[in-house]
Structures are given as C-alpha cells and as structure tokens.
Homo-oligomer: A and B are copies of this chain.
Amino acid sequence: MEIKVLKNILDANNQIAARNRARLDAQRVTALNIMASPGAGKTTLVVRTVQGLKEKCRIGVIEGDIASTIDADRVAREGIPVVQINTGGECHIDANMMSTALESMDLDKIDLLLLENVGNLVCPAEFDTGSHRKVMLLSVPEGDDKPYKYPLMFTIADAIIINKIDTLPLFDFNMANFEKAVRGMNPAARLFPMSLKTGEGLTEWLAWVEAQARRS
C-alpha cells in the first residue's frame, strides 16, 4: 500500500518535472539542480558560480530550504534574481515546488538557472525537478565512504564536486578510494576536486557550467 502511494507520487512528480523541463527548453534556459548534505558548501558554490559567470550569461537562482531566507539573502547580494522556496518541513524540492518557483521568475531574462536543493544526501536524489543537470557536492570532512552509504545520489549525479580539499591533511579522506567507489556506480560523472575557500578547482567547474549553459 505505502509503496503504491509512493509510486503514484513519483509518477506525478515525473510528469510535472517533464513539463518544467519543456518550459525551460522553450525559453532556452539551462537548469542545474545542486544537491548535498547540510554544510557541504552549496550556497558558496552558487555564489562563486554567479561571481564567475555573471558577465558571460544571465543567471537566476532558486534557493530551497525547510525554513529561513539566510541563503537567498546571501545570493541576492550578487544582484541577480533569486526566489526562495521554504518547504515547511519537506526534505527535498519536488517538481511542483520547482514549477511554482518558475512562475515567479522572468525566464526571458535568464540563460542559466541554479537550484539549490534542501541539504540532504537522500531524498532530493529521488525527485526530478525538471533540471537538465544534477550536481552534487561532497565535502572532505564527510568522509570517503559516502558513495557506499548513499548510492542513489552518487549514481544519478552528472557532476560530483569534492569540496574543502584544503582540509585534506586534517581528515582521513582517501581520494583514490573515493574515486574508485564513484566510478563503480557512475563511470560517466565529471569529478571536480575543489576548495571553494581557496578557489582551487573553480576554473574547471566554471568552464563545465558554461558549456552546459551553451547547450541549447
């Protein structure tokens, strides 16, 4: 019974997600769905990406949080359009929330849309929002065994950022073991070792995002 309910919800979600994607395609907007645990660096990634690319393409941001506008306030300081979704307890952004957020954006004036999902390594992986690319961050302090424990997220990601590599000397994080684990479940994903604090690895990431934005 419960499984059936879940299946119906996911089917409905996929239909709305497909409509969102068609709408973004019609407006030539590329959307990235950015997912990670709490505190991995999602908002900093959004801010650095906006700073790095806002002269090259027109960017909009959707901030998803259970509560608060802390992240939206921070991103809005970059002078770009930002919409905040407060999920009111829900652990992920679904396609319906995304659809509502799209209503509030002037898509004519955007080339690249960054969606920052709720901080959660589990549920957001299950819900298509209508984005074109799924991006996930893992930060070094979280540990190199996470692909084995949260396999769906690592399987569905088009790009995987390993953030906070400036702290590698402090933590028992074996990059070779991590890459081996990821490659076993997702050979095609692009990997970006990065420190959003020092800027290391940011150039490669910005080039990848720009290439996605020019896709349409």
Contacts and interface: CB of A to CB of B under 8 A. Distances in A.
Interface string A56-70: 000000000111101
Nearest to A87: B122
Contact of A70 (B71, B119, B148, B164): B148
Contact of A151 (B37, B67, B122, B170): B67
Given A65-B149, A148-B67, A149-B119, A142 B38 contact: yes
A143 B39 contact: yes
B120 A68 contact: no
A123 interface: yes
Contacts of A164: 141
A44 to B, nearest CB: 10
Contacts of A39: 37, 139, 141-143, 146
A2 interface: yes
5 contacts: A38-B142, A38-B143, A65-B149, A68-B145, A120-B121
Nearest to A126: B89
Nearest to A166: B170
Interface residues of A, number: 35
Interface in A1-30: 2, 5, 9
A146 B38 contact: yes
A89 B150 CA distance: 8
Given A68-B148, A139-B141, 5 more contacts: A38-B142, A39-B146, A119-B149, A120-B122, A141-B141
Contact of A121 (B9, B119, B146): B119
A19 B160 CA distance: 43
